[in-house]
Each structure stands twice: as structure tokens, then as C-alpha cells.
Structure 1
Amino acid sequence: MADELELLRRANPVPADGPHFGDGPLDHGAERQLERLLHEARPPRRVRLLPPLHGRTSRARLLWGLAATAVVLATALTVLLGGPSTPSAVAAPRPLTVRAHSTPVPLKEMVPLAAAAAADDSARLVKGTHVQSWSLGMSDDKPPVTLPEERVVRWRADDSHTEVVVATDPSHPGRPVLTDEGDEPRLVEDGHALSRTTYPPSWSDAPPEARPPHTPAALRAYLAETVRTDSLRTPELLEGVVELLDHWTLGARESDALVRLLADAEGLRPVGQVTDRLGRPGQAYVYAGDGGGGRRMLILDPRTGAVLGLETTFTRDDPEYGVKAGDVMQYSAWMR
């Protein structure tokens, strides 16, 4: 993905070895920029945000925060880079690329690998999740920005659970991270805890909170109920996978059932090997559909068939909002 923070560093107006560092006077250019920042009125803005998936109010909240982040970051770029005529400096993140000359592996060939892992039964189902996510926020007059977060949810024996959310981007370890924490977006240190919440005991027999089954037919019905549909086509199946993995860390048996469902799904095309955003090797499968919901790339562990990630990219240019076909709309990477 584009390195927004590196662009800011290159435009640093007060380097540590500069002649006016510390309490020295501002030069004429800096004075003009400061005067403009303090006294010019901001024009009204219209914001367009990505729609949430079925029932995902938390994602809607995140995307509203991303739009606010765009305001702060774009203002900083205007001051540092010289005004509104400067070319867009904050590009949408780059999509994952398929390794050149790699061999696509059909999903049917992943089924026996998942079955072998299930027979070993070393990976057990765990309630809770560990997920790294990136989402894109857009407005009609500022460059798009991304905000990476990592979320860990762990359940206890008494059905209470904790959720920890931190601001971090593993592709740039140790660097400051953009966050929408609080009333005003800002930069925080890598690994900064955005929230630490403990929830009292609770239980539900409805998906996705209910324990997922480990047979294909039962899992199909479970995912259909998760996304509230009577027809689990491939787009709904992939939405159900996201909901499922945002609540559960699948065991080998559940992953086996899921791979069998995916192997029967229409339109999931094998494209070859990728390295995901956490540096893990994977086999990629693309669903383009009719283009209305974006292009989705599902990434599976090449040894076991477990789902590692899902990336959604734009399928057409939208100059008004500064995005192009291939720009990443949303990405999730799940871990054990």
C-alpha cells in the first residue's frame, strides 16, 4: 500500500539539522502557510463512504472515522506541500499481486489438503478472533486514506469476553499510525491501544455467535443465516466467511467444511500464489461477479486450506473520489 507517512517525512519543513529548528524564526513561506491555516475558512465538504456489510455497524463507524481522518491528513499535506494545487500525495493502497509464473491451484485440489489437516485434528475451534484489517475512506475533495487496526477477541469459560483494538500496520513496524480515536483523528505510536473492553457473560444460539458446524451442508445453512439470505450465492458466501472469521478462529474440521463449500461456489477462479499483508504465502482465488460489489480475492493457506485473508478492490475508476480500478477498498487478514 502507499506509504503516506513516508511522504510526510520527506516534506518535513523543520528537519532536526535545519537552521531554524527549535525556537528560531519562521521563514516567509512558513509564515504564509501558518497564516492561511489559522485564518482561512474551510469550504463545505461532501463525503461518500463505503457501505457496511450485512449488520456491520462497527464497520460503518470505522468508515465515518476514516472520512474525518482524510480531513486532518489532507490539511497537513496542504501545509507541508504547498497548497491546493499540489498533486494528490495520499494514494489508495496497492492491491496484492500474484507471483509471476506461479501455478494456480483449483479449489477442488485444496479439498484433500483440508481433509488431511482435519484428520490430524491438531487445530481446534476457538471462540474469538485475531484479525488485522485495512479499510479505505473517501471524500470528493481530499485524497483517500487507509486506517489499519488489529483486533483480538478472547472468550472466557464463563462466557464473558475481552476485546483489545490497537492501531498498527505490520508493513511498517514501529512507525506512527493514523487513527480515528477520540473526537479528532491523529497519529499515534505503533501498537497504541485504541480500546480495551471487557464484556459480561453473554450467549446466543444464532449465527455467527453460535458454535459453527463442521459439515458442509450444516455450515452452508449457518452462513446463510449469518447473512440473512435464502440463496447463498458466492458474494453472500464470502460475506458470511468474513462474519464467521470475525467471531471464530476455525479448527481444521471447520476449515475442511468451508473449503468444500468454496470449491462448489460459482465464479471463484484460481489465479496463483500471493504473499499476504502479513508476509504469509497463500493461494489466491478471485471472484469478479458483475463488478457491482468489487473484485474479491480470497487467500487460502496452501498447506491446509485455512482462510488467511480477503481483499476487495475497485473494478472501475472513480476520478471524483480519487480511486482507480484495482485500488483496495477493504482487506482483512486472520491469524490464530
Structure 2
Amino acid sequence: MPDELDLLRHANPAPAHGPHFGDGPLDHRAERRLKLLLGERPSRSARFRVPRGRLRWGLAATGVVVALTLAALLGGPDTRPAAAAPRPLVVQADSTPVPLALLADRAAAADDSAGLRKGTHAQSWSMGMSDQAPPITLPQETIVRWKPDGSHTELVVATDPRHPGRPVLSDGGEHPRLVADGHVISRQTYPPSWSDAPPEAPPPHDAERLRGYLREAERVHGRMTTGQLLDGVDSLLGHWTLGAPETKALARLLASAPGLRPVGRVTDRLGRTGQAYVHDDPSGARRMLIMDASTGAVLGLETTATKADPRFRLKAGDVMSYVAWMR
């Protein structure tokens, strides 16, 4: 399914013979509105306020692309502002689901020499919600590196690998705004930390011990639910890049999680192919875990809403968060 921003970019001029339907080029009314937007100064939004001088400079420097991007994000005075959100990942219809137990067996037999490393490299999309404005999705890349003395650095940049080179929506400053692709949101160095408590402590290589590790990391008393286990996976991979032994233990632990069902093959937002496993949480969220079919490594975790929330203009099917982990 084409991206709405791509549709906007190709809608002016729209081909006279082009089809006019919801998932294709804009209809005649939308084309007239687009021409009006390009001919006049776009109205300011109460949420994204763009200084007039900056807007004129942006139009002169980058032309129609920035104008269309702002129009897509902000909308006109009587249109609903669009959310810059990714669509949920789609399972390939002709794929065969791989049971988690079989994937865990593959992980145990995999010849993988990757070692455990403290620190992460991840791409994430997180939804910011407010009862005063439509939800927006903020894409960013985070790299955390630890040094031998126990200190670590964290670099966060605004970037969306789905659209390299395009302006990116960022929440830096007082209001969300468009920034250049690769804009540094933060660069920080933290003093040494030698905590021996999960998730700072190295994870174990045994599935049952890893269950206890994640239960302690998530401060769960009693039996751990599948939703809490997935929260623990998110926390673990937010601190560590797993080696082969830890990956095998995690795959075996996930294979025993009730309600985490295989649904088939997907291509994640970084273009990697993996097997998807879905869990529906009673709270109104669906979690999709994407794992490498041969090594059992966790590639990504997507959370989508299964219930609408009118307070925040959240619709069922909206992607609330997504994170893709890299080595």
C-alpha cells in the first residue's frame, strides 16, 4: 500500500487519466485543496507552530517537498490533521507459521558465535498522545555504548529508514516540529554504573533462570504473564545485545509463553525477514514479536491498539510503538 506522503508528492500535477479512489491519487476536491495550499501560506496549527520567516526560508530552500510534508502533517483549517504513523506489519499470506518450540530448537542448533555485549542499537517509532491534539509518531535511532570503566554514552537521532533523506517529526523543544533527517536529539555521557541487579546484570544462559531474571527486572511478584514477559524482553534488549547462548535461552523461554501464537512470515521495517508471534493483551494492545527464523534472535516488537480511545483520537489498529534491534 503506497505511503500517503508519496501520494501527495505525486498528486500535483495529477495525471488527467489517473484513477481517483481512496488508496490512489487524490480526488478532485483534494487536488483543489492541494493547489490552494501551494498557492497560499499554509495556516498555522495550534500544535506545530512554524515561524513565518522559517517557513519562507524552507519553501525557498526545499520547495514543494517541505510544503507538501507540512500540509500532510498539519492539514488545512477544516481537515483532520494526519498522524505520521507507520502501518501495522502485514503477515505474508502464503507463509507457513513456525511454532515457537521449533524455532527454539533451531536456535539451539544454530552455529552462531555472536557474543554478549552491553549496549544497544535500535530504531524505534513511538506514538505521542494528547487529549488536545491528534496522536503523532516519532521515529528515532538510538545507540548506547558502554566503556570498560563502566560509563556509557547514548546518542539519539531523528531518522526514519522508511524514508531516507526526508524531514523527520521530532518532539524536541516546546512543540513537535520537523527536523532534518539525522538531526541529533541528544548526545549524553553517563558516569560509571556497576549495578548487579537485572537488567543491568548480565542475563543468564538458562531459560528458567532467565525467567527469574526478567521477573526481577520487571518487579513482578508471582507468576509472570505473557504481556509482562514481553515487557521484560523489551527491557532486556534495551540494555543488552544478546550473544548466541542468551538468544537460545530467550527463544526457549518464549516457546513456553501461553498465548504467544505463530502467525507467519513478515518483513520488518528494516527490510529483514522474520517469523511473527502475536499476543493479544486484555488491556487492548496486540504485541507482535518478530524473530529470526534460523537463529531465534528477536528482531523487533510491535504494539498496536485493538481498542479505540476517543480521548486521544486513537483508533483500533493504530501502531502505538515499534522497535527494531540491530547488532
- TM-score bracket, shorter-length normalisation: 0.7 to 0.9
Instruction: Give the structure 1 partner of residue 254 of structure 2.
Output: 262
Match of 1:72 among 32, 36, 48: 48
Amino acid at match of 2:76: G
The structural deviation recorded for 1:316 is: 1.8
Q: Tell me, which stretches of 5 or more residues in structure 2 are unaligned?
A: 13-35, 52-69
Identity among equivalent positions (%) equals 63
Matched-pair contact (CA < 8 Å) for 1:130–1:335: yes
The structural deviation recorded for 1:281 is: 0.2
Instruction: Give the structure 1 partner of residue 264 of structure 2.
Output: 272
Instruction: Give the structure 2 partner of residue 82 of structure 1.
Output: 76
Instruction: Give the structure 2 partner of residue 58 of structure 1.
Output: none
Q: Tell me, which stretches of 5 or more residues in structure 1 are unaligned?
A: 13-25, 43-70
The structural deviation recorded for 1:113 is: 1.1
Instruction: Give the structure 1 partner of residue 285 of structure 2.
Output: 294
Cα gap change, 1:324/1:185 in structure 2, threshold over 3 Å: closer, same or farther?
closer
Is residue 236 from structure 1 mapped to residue 236 from structure 2 by the alignment? no
Within 5 Å, which residues of 2 pair with 1:9-24? none
Instruction: Give the structure 2 partner of residue 304 of structure 1.
Output: 295
Matched-pair contact (CA < 8 Å) for 2:83–2:137: no
Is residue 215 from structure 1 mapped to residue 206 from structure 2 by the alignment? yes
Cα gap change, 1:227/1:81 in structure 2, threshold over 3 Å: closer, same or farther?
closer
CA distance in 1, matches of 2:7, 2:112: 47
Instruction: Give the structure 2 partner of residue 52 of structure 1.
Output: none
The structural deviation recorded for 1:189 is: 1.2
Within 5 Å, which residues of 2 pair with 1:1-336? 30=40, 37=44, 71-72=47-48, 77=71, 81-83=75-77, 85-90=78-83, 92-117=85-110, 120-230=111-221, 231-290=223-282, 292-336=283-327
Moved more, 250-259 or 136-145: 136-145
State the number of aligned residues: 284
The structural deviation recorded for 1:296 is: 0.5
Matched-pair contact (CA < 8 Å) for 2:49–2:175: no
Matched-pair contact (CA < 8 Å) for 1:4–1:89: no
CA distance in 2, matches of 1:162, 1:287: 34
Moved more, 86-95 or 299-308: 86-95
Amino acid at match of 2:185: L
Amino acid at match of 1:308: L
Cα gap change, 1:80/1:143 in structure 2, threshold over 3 Å: closer, same or farther?
closer
Cα gap change, 1:122/1:184 in structure 2, threshold over 3 Å: closer, same or farther?
same
Offset from partner CA, 1:72-124 (integer Å, 9 cap, x none): 179965997431x224433643100000121000001011111022xx34110
The structural deviation recorded for 1:151 is: 0.4
Matched-pair contact (CA < 8 Å) for 2:73–2:83: no
Moved more, 214-223 or 177-186: 177-186
Instruction: Give the structure 2 partner of residue 54 of structure 1.
Output: none
CA distance in 1, matches of 2:308, 2:126: 18
CA distance in 1, matches of 2:225, 2:216: 13
Cα gap change, 1:208/1:81 in structure 2, threshold over 3 Å: closer, same or farther?
closer
Offset from partner CA, 1:232-264 (integer Å, 9 cap, x none): 110110000000000000001001000111000
Amino acid at match of 1:94: R
